[in-house]
Structure 1
Amino acid sequence: MKKNDKASRGGARGRSKIKKDNSSDEFSRSRSRLKAVSPSDLNKKNSDRMNSTTVRKPRSHTDIRGYSIGLKMSIIFGFLVAVMVFISLLVLSSIVESSLEDEIKASGVKSTVFLSETTRIMNEVYLSNSSEEGINHDPNANRNMQIFYESVGESINTSKVGILCAAVYLYAKDKQSPYMSSFKQYSIETVSPVVEVVGGVKVERKIFKIIEKGDIKIPCFKFEKTVIDPKTKAEIGKAVVYISMSKVKEVTSKVRGITYVVAFIGAAIGLLVAYMFSQTLSKPILLLLRDIQIVSGGDFEHRTKASSKDEIGTLAKAFDRMTENLRYQQELEVESERRMVELSHAKEIQQRLLPRRIPNLRGIDLHFYYQAAKDVSGDYYDVMPVNEDHVAFLVADVSGKGIPGSMVMTEIRTILQIIRTSSLSTKKIMSRANRLIASDIKPGMFVTMMYCILNLKNNVMLVSSAGHNPLLIQRATGEYISLNPKGIALGFDKGPIFDRVIAEQKIQLYKGDRIVLYTDGIVEAMSPEREEYGDDRMDEFVKRYAKISSKDFVDKLMDELKDHQDVAEQHDDITILTFKV
């Protein structure tokens, strides 16, 4: 059964022949304190709070620190364009250089082959009658060939292929003897030891140094082909041609210069295009950032206008939904605070309606304990004087917790305070209380109650139960009694059935007897393993500790209950009232 403590509105409401008690004054004072914080004041306070959140001015997006997205994209895109253009033109320059070198090689090979064949033919024509010792013994032949080669060399040098020098060497007695050369004084420096053979002609990279023109150094290709005597198959000489690479270097240098210029222009164009594109991309982001800053300032009514259907537009719509949820959560928070204030006052009223101090009863050791599962509860206990010789003890439990349970509990307390002196019969008190509560209680709700009236002179106690947990009695003699007279819960029936079922039982108490009234929050307390404390444990506890003082009895029971619950949450209200005669 669920338990919720209810603060009752004490005092008689104009009923004739009923004497008002101090509870009505307490209730009136509690109601007057509530006027200090009325619902209208709360609403005004919360409204002011909501409005105050919108006065903060949002910061401009110019507060962004660091480089903007647009600038970053411009730099990266421009750099990539420049690199791509630069690499492309470098590749083109390399292709042009390679193509020009191939053209020079083709021309050099052709010139060298021509010179070699000419040398072979002229050797046959001019030296056919030479002595076996060599052509150097025939001065006329040597002179004629020299004149011929010089004319051939001049013809080659005047070509447009950039020939620096053409020379023919004829062998005589294992020595090389130049018969023709464009320059009389020159030297050769080796650039690369790699020798390439193209069409039977050896090709090497050299540095041609013209001594007679001030040691001018010119990068060139050296082409060399051996001259073979077709009759003897012997080497009779060699033809050598040097072709300048200056034009290749000149063209390559121009191409690379163009490469740098085009790369720079490409980078500039890339930066411009990237900047324009980034502006298009970053503009909606900056607008969204402005909207975020407005909302972060507290204006939850502000909405973002999605200007596109891409990811940024989707993000803007999602942000709008988030803003709407934040606004709803703020309203819930304000409402929750309002309810918490009201609940706090309800709790204060309920606490003041419960007994705040233990009554001093002659010959009775009394103690009680109450703990709500929520701020307010449906459990109720009381000790009420009926007259000079009689006192009423009761423990009640309303079905349900929270505000509804506390309201019913307050009503029950008010009714009992009014009718407590009208009879010394617990059965009659129960019947009257049921008739009054049944006409007002919400369908489905009910109240269980254990109601006792003790005669302080002879220790005779009358007991009635409205479907409540049993009354536990541990006698000083060792006898244990679980007393629970017949009865149904208050509120189930408006009168006839309840009056027929409700019973009253008389019991004689003796010195040393322990009496315990409690709600089901004790026996239904759960352990972390979902095991209830149970009736058996409760019975054993009463038997074991019946002889100690009532305060120690309650303290030990609460300690044992906490050990049983351990870390488990308290799900129901806990109330116990015990006394020893």
Structure 2
Amino acid sequence: MATNSPPIEAIRKIPPHVHSSSPFVQALMSAKAMMKFQRASQLITSSLDLEMLLERVVNDIADSIGCVEVSVWLRDPNGEEMVLNGVRGCTTYRKGSRLKIGERGMVGHVAATGVTRYAPDVTIDSYYLACELDTRSELTVPLMTCGEVIGVLCVDHQQANAFSDDEVLVLEALAGHIAVAIENARLFRNERLEREQMKREAAEARAVQQALFVKAVPLVCGFAFETAWNPAGSVAGDWFDLIDLGNELTGIVLADVSGKGMPAALLMSSTRAILRSLAKLDPSPGRTLMQLNQMLMEDFPTGKFVTMIYAVLDAQSREITIASAGHLRPLLINGECSFLDIDTGMPLGLGSTSYPEYKLTLHPGTQLLFYTDGITEAMNHVDEEYGAARLVQHFLQPSACVEGLIEEVQRFSHKSNHTDDATAVLIRSR
């Protein structure tokens, strides 16, 4: 490969042949041609689709100056090659063709040096790589952003000495617009791919979470369970669980992990797994919460916590034993509604504490509701909370159910910017 070729400044001093009378020059320097270039640069920078952008580049330039061949080569980020991404008027190369940077042709040379190269007569240029038989002059301009060559714009013409100094400057200026447009299109494409990947991952995470909840509800003689789970986003930090503990005992869990989205969902999954491993070791919900709290304190990130109601229902005695880790008071429904006045320990993961137990007999016809703050703290468009009073009013209706509750909360908070996960478990004693 030759290394002593004259710089662009020296090459431009080669006396032009018929520059002043060239139809190309006359067309380019006319007001109409300049308007075409201005329009081309505006259209180019307005496109965020990379393939469409490059098609527009080669076609608009070719249409504006009437040359026989225009191509755009982009640097392969994974190698030392230039890849043809846009072309018009070439029969030798196709999209996807590659040239070694610094080794092959004017394109490879300009990609290596970052300096415009103009060959007024391609037959005597040591770097020119033959393409079309009737090509007589070639202008190759680097596409640069932040001082780095990201591509090369190559314009060929059938006429020798087809480009004047002013015309080279115009095409170099246009190359600057093209380089910016390419970078913008790449950023947009990368962001779009990242968003699509995040959507796929969120959908998969939601499916995993739903699989945890969509399972058979334990059959407990004399009791029925209703559950509702409505995440504010793709995944949730709220969760519920019904655990068969054997000997006619059923563990009933409702919890709310601090935060939202994927971080809360991850903490939810780990908390659920740990609780399930502990639940069958001790029938006492208070002691189970103490053990769970100790384990979460070791593993939870600083500032993260879980509020939880954990109850154990004895179907034989109809007695339910409840322990609360900073959670909302359960609602007892028995002709009238009242919130249980139970003592509570700190939310899980914040510090050592005990969890007092509250015992209650669920006589036939009695209902007990566990719920998360995404229900009572749901806000409407004027920042008014759904509140405890509306919760009571809902369950004073004979047809009240948790799915209806969630629908009512959704209607109430329609058009509100404040949304949260909403989950409820209703125990019906029959």
- TM-score (structure 1 length as normaliser): 0.47
For 2:281 and 2:176, how far apart are their aligned partners in 1?
69
Greater share of helix residues, 1 or 2? 1
Structure whose alpha-carbon radius of gyration is higher: 1
Q: 1:479 to 1:469 in 2, by over 3 A?
A: closer
Q: How does 1:102-501 map to 2 (within 5 A)?
A: 276-280=25-29, 282=33, 285=37, 292-293=57-58, 294=72, 301-302=150-151, 316-476=175-335, 478=336, 480-493=338-351, 497-499=352-354
Alpha-carbon offset, residue 303 of structure 1: 5.4
In the alignment, which of 559, 563, 566 is matched to residue 414 of structure 2? 566
Number of residue equivalences: 301
Deviation of 1:537 after TM superposition, in Å, equals 1.3
In the alignment, the residues of structure 2 paired with residue 446 and residue 311 of structure 1 have an alpha-carbon distance, to the nearest angstrom, of 62
What is residue 428 of structure 2 aligned with on the other side?
580
| Kept in 1: contact 2:218–2:244 (CA 8 A) | no
SS of residue matched to 2:316: coil
Spell out, residue by residue over 1:172-204, the C-alpha distance to the aligned partner (whole angstroms, 9 max, x if none).
Answer: xxxxxxxxxxxxxxxxxxxxxxxxxxxxxxxxx
Amino acid across the alignment from 1:440 = D
Offset, 1:345: 2.4
Aligned partners of 1:463 and 1:485 also within 8 Å: no
Equivalents in 2 of 1:338, 1:563: separation in Å?
31
Shift of 1:451: 0.8
* Contact 2:406/2:422 (8 A) holds in 1: no
Q: CA deviation at 1:512?
A: 1.2
* Structure 2 counterpart of 1:375, one-letter code: S
1:553 maps onto 2:401 in alignment:
yes
Deviation at 1:420, TM superposition (A): 0.8
**Cα deviation, residue 539, structure 1:** 2.4
Structure 1: runs of 5 or more not aligned: 1-270
Q: What is the deviation of 1:304?
A: 5.6
Alpha-carbon separation, structure 1, partners of 2:202 and 2:317? 44
State which of 394, 399, 404 in structure 2 corresponds to 1:541: 394
1:464, distance to aligned residue in structure 2 (A): 1.0
Counterpart of 1:525 (choices 370, 375, 378) is 378
| Structure 1 counterpart of 2:262, one-letter code | I
Superposed displacement of residue 402, structure 1: 1.5
Task: Measure the CA separation in 1 of the matches of 2:153 and 2:183.
Answer: 11
Deviation at 1:391, TM superposition (A): 0.7
Deviations along 1:323-362, one digit per CA (max 9) or x if unpaired, are 2121122122223333333333222222112242333221
CA distance in 1, matches of 2:381, 2:152: 48
- Quick check: 1:507 aligned with 2:353? no
Report SS of the residue matched to 1:423. Answer: coil
Equivalent residues of 1:373, 1:570 under 8 A apart: no
Counterpart contact for 1:355–1:383, Cα < 8 Å: no
Structure 2: which 5+ runs fail to align?
Answer: 1-19, 45-53, 59-71, 75-84, 87-94, 97-142, 144-149, 155-164
1:66-98 deviation digits (Å, cap 9, x = unpaired) = xxxxxxxxxxxxxxxxxxxxxxxxxxxxxxxxx
Structure 1 residues 314 and 465: alpha-carbon distance in aligned structure 2, compared to 1, 3 A threshold? farther
Measure how far apart 1:280 and its partner are: 4.6
* Preserved contact between residue 470 and residue 482 of structure 1 (Cα < 8 Å): yes
Maintained 8 Å contact 1:466/1:487: yes
CA distance in 2: counterparts of 1:342 and 1:453, whole angstroms? 35
- The residue type equivalent to 1:278 in the other structure is A
Deviations 1:88-142 (A, max 9, x none): xxxxxxxxxxxxxxxxxxxxxxxxxxxxxxxxxxxxxxxxxxxxxxxxxxxxxxx
Letter paired with 2:347: A
Q: CA deviation at 1:274?
A: 8.5
Indicate the residue corresponding to 2:126 in structure 1: none
Q: Deviations over 1:219-241 (max 9, x none)?
A: xxxxxxxxxxxxxxxxxxxxxxx
- Alpha-carbon separation, structure 2, partners of 1:342 and 1:364: 38
Q: Deviations over 1:476-499 (max 9, x none)?
A: 4x3623344221111112xxx323
Query: Deviation of residue 364 (structure 1)?
Result: 0.9
- Mapped partners of 1:353, 1:479: distance in 2: 31
SS at match of 2:275: helix
Matched with 2:3 is none
Q: Does the 8 Å CA contact 2:230/2:406 hold for their aligned counterparts?
A: no
Query: 2-side partners of 1:417 and 1:526: how far apart?
Result: 33
Within 1, Cα distance between the matches of 2:312 and 2:412? 33
Alpha-carbon spacing, 1:578–1:303, altered in 2? closer, same or farther (3 Å) = farther
Q: What is the aligned-residue identity percentage?
A: 24
Describe the superposition over 1:2-53 as per-residue Cα deviations: whole angstroms up to 9, x where unpaired: xxxxxxxxxxxxxxxxxxxxxxxxxxxxxxxxxxxxxxxxxxxxxxxxxxxx
Aligned position for 1:119 = none
Q: What secondary structure sits across from 2:240 in the alignment?
A: strand
- Aligned residue type for 2:353: F
DSSP-derived class of the 1:302 partner: strand
CA–CA distance in 2 between the matches of 1:275 and 1:304? 19
Residue aligned with 1:439, SS: helix
The 8 Å contact of residues 522 and 533 in structure 1, kept in 2 or not, is answered as: yes
Relative contact order (alpha carbons < 8 A, sep ≥ 6): 1 or 2 greater? Answer: 1
